[in-house]
A and B are shown apart, each in its own frame.
Chain A
Amino acid sequence: DAGVIQSPRHEVTEMGQEVTLRCKPISGHDYLFWYRQTMMRGLELLIYFNNNVPIDDSGMPEDRFSAKMPNASFSTLKIQPSEPRDSAVYFCASDLAESSYNEQFFGPGTRLTVL
């Protein structure tokens, strides 16, 4: 398996623009997570899905952020409008609830810079 795939790897945009981040989880995994990492706040959970259904979105900072998972192999995280404080690395991760090792698999991340 190719692992968790994220695109784009880098995104530079101007304040006010819409940003869409994409994620393809590992085939067969039933959980998908979106995390954001900054120096100040560390690695924080934004939202996660189980079998394509959002379970907990309490970490989504505000209404400008939205996430969807239309099928088992694809998810998007959208920011509209973007602001400079959204600059961070956004990670997508997936795992299998039945795994005995409690391991989450992370994608390479999308480094977002909002000017």
Chain B
Amino acid sequence: GQSLEQPSEVTAVEGAIVQINCTYQTSGFYGLSWYQQHDGGAPTFLSYNALDGLEETGRFSSFLSRSDSYGYLLLQELQMKDSASYFCAVRDGDQAGTALIFGKGTTLSVSS
């Protein structure tokens, strides 16, 4: 089966950089995704890595190493609004259209 491990909590101050790690075990692999969820809200898509390397989208970047079954989400120039839960997720299989399996989530608290 599939499983993902990520830290449960991370704290940081405004303007800092934080990295949220994710390790996974899958029977097949179709990329690693990251989702953000604010308290009381819906998970929203942040990024997707299908191949090794770094993907950058504004202040957020995501990295994947398939050989290490490892990825991370890097958040730069942290703002108070970045306080949220962050989930890594993999597909339940090796193709599109299968369900996502989510990690337990990392709660990021940004303070001033």
| A and B found bound together | yes
Which residues from chain A sit less than 8 Å from chain B, CB to CB? 30-31, 33, 42-45, 48, 50, 56, 91, 95, 97-99, 101-109
Across the A-B interface, the 5 shortest Cβ-Cβ residue pairs: A97-B97, A106-B42, A103-B45, A43-B102, A102-B48
Complex formed: what's the CA distance from A109 to B43 in Å?
A: 10
Residues of chain B at the chain A interface (Cβ within 8 Å): 30-31, 33, 41-45, 48, 50, 87, 91-92, 96-97, 99-105
B79 shortest CB reach to chain A, Å? 23
Residues of A within 8 A of B96 (CB): 97-99, 102
Contact of B100 among A45, A50, A56 (CB under 8 A): A45
Q: Which residues of A contact B103 (CB under 8 A)?
A: 42
Most chain B beta carbons < 10 A, residue from A44, A56, A103, A107 = A103
| A56 to B42 Cα, complex, angstroms | 22
B82 to chain A, nearest CB (A): 19
CB neighbours (8 Å) of B97 from chain A are 30-31, 50, 95, 97
19 contacts between A and B (CB under 8 A): A33-B100, A42-B102, A42-B103, A42-B105, A43-B87, A44-B102, A45-B100, A45-B101, A95-B97, A98-B96, A102-B33, A103-B33, A104-B45, A104-B100, A105-B45, A107-B42, A108-B41, A108-B42, A109-B42
Taking a contact as CB atoms closer than 8 A, the residue among B31, B99, B104 that contacts A48 in the complex is B99
Contacts of A48 in B (CB 8 A): 99
